[in-house]
Amino acid sequence: MTKTIDITLRVWRQNRPDVKGGFEIYHAANISTDMSFLEMIDVVNEQFTLDGKDPIAFDHDCREGICGMCGIVVNGRAHGAEKGTTLCQLHMRHFSNGDTIVVEPWRSRAFPIIKDLVVDRSALDTIIQAGGYISVNTGGAADANAIPIPEEIVEKAMDAAACIGCGACVAACPNASAMLFTAAKISQLALLPQGRPEAAERALGMVRKMEELYFGNCTNERECEAECPKEISIANIARLNREFIKAGLISTVM
Give residue-wise pLDDT tens across range 193-235.
999 999 999 999 999 999 999 999 999 999 999 999 999 999 9
Give residue-wise pLDDT tens across range 71-113.
999 999 999 999 999 999 999 999 999 999 999 999 999 999 9
Three-state SS at 151 = helix
Considering only CA atoms, which of 150, 130, 164 is closest in space to residue 244?
A: 130
Domain 121-137+144-253 - what CATH class? Answer: mainly alpha
- What residues contact residue 95 under an 8 Å CB cut-off, 6+ apart? 5, 7, 33, 101
Chain centroid to Cα 52, Å, comes to: 32
How confident is the model over 154-179, as a mean pLDDT? 97
Is the pLDDT reported for residue 139 higher than 80? no
What integer pLDDT is reported at residue 144 of this predicted model?
66
Mean pLDDT, the chain, rounded, equals 94
pLDDT-wise least confident of 16-30, 131-145, 166-180, 195-209 = 131-145
Q: What distance in Å separates the CA atoms of residue 162 and residue 188, rounded to the nearest whole number? A: 9
How confident is the model over 41-70, as a mean pLDDT? 97
What percentage of the chain has pLDDT greater than the value 70? 98
Out of 3.10.20.30, 3.60.21.10, 3.20.20.70, 1.10.10.410, the CATH code matching 4-114 is 3.10.20.30
Q: What distance in Å separates the CA atoms of residue 148 and residue 150, rounded to the nearest whole number? A: 7
Q: What distance in Å separates the CA atoms of residue 16 and residue 116, rounded to the nearest whole number? A: 8
How confident is the model over 175-193, as a mean pLDDT? 97
Q: What distance in Å separates the CA atoms of residue 151 and residue 195, rounded to the nearest whole number? A: 17
Is the pLDDT reported for residue 253 higher than 60? no
Q: What distance in Å separates the CA atoms of residue 236 and residue 44, rounded to the nearest whole number? A: 39
What residues does CATH 1.10.1060.10 cover in the chain? 121-137+144-253
Are residues 96 and 109 in contact, defined by beta-carbon separation less than 8 angstroms?
no
What residues does CATH 3.10.20.30 cover in the chain? 4-114
Helices (H), 81-163: 122-129, 151-161
What integer pLDDT is reported at residue 1 of this predicted model?
66
